[in-house]
Amino acid sequence: MTSFVERPLSFFFVPLDMKAQDTPLHVVNAYLDLATSNGEIYTRVASHHPGGYYVHFTRFPSSVFFVNNLRIKGKIGFAALKTNSLTPLNLHDNASEAYPSVNPNPNAWEFLQNIQYYQYGDYYNISLKNYFRNLSNFWDRVITCAMERHYQEGEQRTFFIPTNDAFKEKFKRYHVNAKTILTNIVEEAMIFPLEGYDVKEDHNCPTLAWAKGHPILVRHNKERSKYCWNNMQKSEPCTPNENTILYSVFVSNGVINFINTTLGLNEEIIQGMQPSEEDDEEGEDDDDVEEEEKEEAIGHNDLRKFAQKVHNVLGPEMFFDIFNNGNFTLVVPDYEKWNESGFDKLREEEKANVLKMHVIQTEHNVRIDEDVIRAATAGMYAKFATLSGHSKLYFDRQGGRRAFITVEGCGVNASVLTNDVNEGHVFFHVIEKVLCIPTDNVAVKLRESFFNFTRTLGSMSFFNDQLRNMDRKFTYFVPSDYAWERAAEQFPEVVRKLQLPDFNFHLQYFLERHLVISDKVFTMKDLLEWTKENDGEIALPTLREYLHIKVEEKYIDYILSWRTQAITVHHDDVLCTNGIIHVLDFPLMEKDDFGAATSYNINFYLHFIILMLFIGRI
């Protein structure tokens, strides 16, 4: 960025209106070269005002200069202010009560966070307080979205701050997300109303959203008093005729413009993706809404039904984040499958978790499209974190001449019917059923192909019979067939003996070690949080004793520590009607445990014989 050349000399501004001037503010330690330039350039220099209050210079073509928002005409060392004197940003008397102390030369963040301690001339004392008291909607979202650094950084930024008047009609507080906030910050450009000077009307200024990959710029009129946001993906530019600057405040890193309309909100999405009043009524069937109204809201039937569920269960704020944010990929069930899934019979907490399991959250507008899934599933499955925060979605490719993609969530498998669908800001895939609503008990779920070996062992010892009991809650750590292949390589003698009839008692004890029986199920997230609370090992009740484990999280995997083993949870949270299954990539097994199983069997049978003798004496 081009800037003025600064030298350690004094430069004086001489106001034409000498009333109530702040003399130190009109003196800066810089030599300002006011030579003619064809470009628009900016700089800031510290004044002699207490605290080193910055003043900003803007030079336009044809030797037109502004200091803050006042036009000047100058020569070496002196410049005449053509209107009033500069107004300092002073502290109120109550600033001494603030903790931590208030910066007399604040950046945008410091000013807006401590607004009650600043005064800005007569205008502030009359009405600007009302504006700041009226900023809570937008400013609350700035804090919620953790955008602090964007208001602290930079030197010549323009910050557009909407008042609550912008939210009275169609816009709501939750419509403001991180992208919207970045769209309201212009980088490397000081934009403020110009008095007595016009600039090019078609001038566009990139916002911080532009730097993040969003084609958004701010377009202003000749006087820079009205603005609009310009989406470069659209062929027609916007017309700056609605957004009016109410007042401007200059801070150390730029200028704050208070406006009555929020820039950067996609009105089509706000109006179009909001479920209609008919959608919000309980028991309203899709067939009761005319086709014309459907198209006006959300054209895609499957997406529209999913949007209705999200809005009703998760609330309008999360609804808008999901449907107006490019950082989500949705897996949307066939709209006809919701009724038969039993979704409406679930508790509200369960409904929320089911819906969040259909939302994959990414970053930087990355979309989990068919190409990404096919590349990720080359040779194995691919798993993606969901909005639920703990369980994941697992994608797989089914072979054959007509290969297709399947997705599994919480143990429920579904085929992907339609890939890569776009509507507005929403990117989604259509799947054949609702995920995460179980229909099988633990015993039935073990019939799936990758549980073959564990199911066979359980049948040999009649262990599986109890898994049909609907009066208990089971948390079953099930080794996959791949886990047994690894175990057979590491402990071949142990795995061989487990399959022998002579070791049925031993097998029963071994399987019980993997099965937690309680009045509730334990998700892997539950076990992780419990481990953190205990600061170490936790004890889970099995049929005869306790299973002592520790759970940690590594990237997107859970690691289960048992004795000397660190076992990866291959697949977590497979829901069943009477429990939950966690798939392990290695059994809860050690060499000393079963490797030389002779001593263990002798001890086991010895205890058994003693018990029988004792019973016989009674």
Do the domain assignments include residue 283? no
Q: What does the pLDDT read at residue 455?
A: 94
* Of the candidate ranges 32-36, 82-86, 101-105, the one whose mean pLDDT is the lowest: 32-36
**CA pair distance 160, 138, nearest whole angstrom:** 10
Is-contact 584 570, C-beta < 8 A?
yes
Do 441 and 578 contact (CB within 8 A), yes or no?
yes
Residue-level pLDDT at 580: 96
Q: Residue 220 has what pLDDT?
A: 67
CA distance 359 to 306: 11
If asked whether residues 530 and 563 sit together in one domain, one would say yes
pLDDT at 538: 96
Provide the CB-side half-sphere exposure for 556 (13 A, CA).
11
pLDDT of residue 169: 63
Predicted pLDDT of residue 469 = 94
User: 16 pLDDT exceeds 70?
Assistant: no
CA quadruple 369, 372, 373, 374: dihedral, nearest 10: 120
Tell me, yes or no, whether 333 and 258 share the same domain: no
Asked which of 367, 396, 431 is the last residue of a domain, the reply is 431
Mean pLDDT over each residue of the chain, to the nearest integer:
77
The fraction of the chain above a pLDDT of 70, given in percent, is 68
Are 465 and 562 found together in one domain?
yes
pLDDT band at 265 (very low <50, low <70, confident <90, very high): low
Of 190-204, 309-323, 548-562, least confident by mean pLDDT is: 190-204
Per-residue pLDDT reduced to its tens digit, 114-156: 887 777 644 433 344 454 555 667 888 888 778 899 999 988 8
- Tell me: do 163 and 252 sit in the same domain: yes
Residue 297 has pLDDT above 50, yes or no: no
Q: Are residues 246 and 335 in the same domain?
A: no
Same domain, 119 and 42: no
Is residue 140 included in any domain, yes or no? yes
Residue 242 and residue 125 share a domain: yes
Residue 313 included in any domain:
no
Q: What is the pLDDT of residue 273?
A: 52
Structural domain total, the chain: 4
Sign, Cα dihedral of 444, 447, 451, 457: positive
pLDDT, residue 540, reads 96
Q: Are residues 148 and 172 in the same domain?
A: yes
150 shares its domain with 214: yes
* pLDDT for the residue 434: 96
Is the same domain home to 38 and 165?
A: no
Q: What is the mean pLDDT of residues 584-606?
A: 66
- Establish if 378 belongs to a structural domain: yes
Sheet holding 328-333, edge to edge: 359-361, 328-333, 426-431, 412-423, 404-409, 392-398, 382-385
- pLDDT digit string (tens) for 356-398? 999 998 876 788 998 888 888 776 778 898 998 778 899 988 7
| Residue 21 pLDDT level (bands cut at 50, 70, 90) | low
Question: Do 118 and 233 share a domain, yes or no?
Answer: yes
Which whole number is the average pLDDT over 487-507? 87
CA distance linking residue 67 with residue 585, whole number of Å? 68
Q: How far apart are CA 474 and CA 489, in angstroms?
A: 29
Domain range for 44 is 12-85
Q: What pLDDT, in 10s, does the model give residues 530-541?
A: 999 998 899 999
In CATH, what number is assigned to the domain containing residue 218? Answer: 2.30.180.10
From 236-245, 463-472, 524-533, the region with the lowest mean pLDDT: 236-245
In this structure, are 485 and 339 located in the same domain?
Answer: no
Classify residue 279: in a domain, yes or no: no
User: Please, are residues 142 and 181 in contact by the beta-carbon 8 Å criterion?
Assistant: yes
User: Any bridge partners for residue 142, and if so which?
Assistant: none
591 located within any domain: no
In the predicted structure, residue 562 carries a pLDDT above the cut 50: yes
How much of the chain exceeds pLDDT 90, in percent? 30
Domain assignment present for residue 136? The answer is: yes
Asked whether residue 119 is domain-assigned, the answer is: yes
Among the listed ranges 223-232, 356-365, 506-515, 571-580, which one has the minimum average pLDDT value?
Answer: 223-232
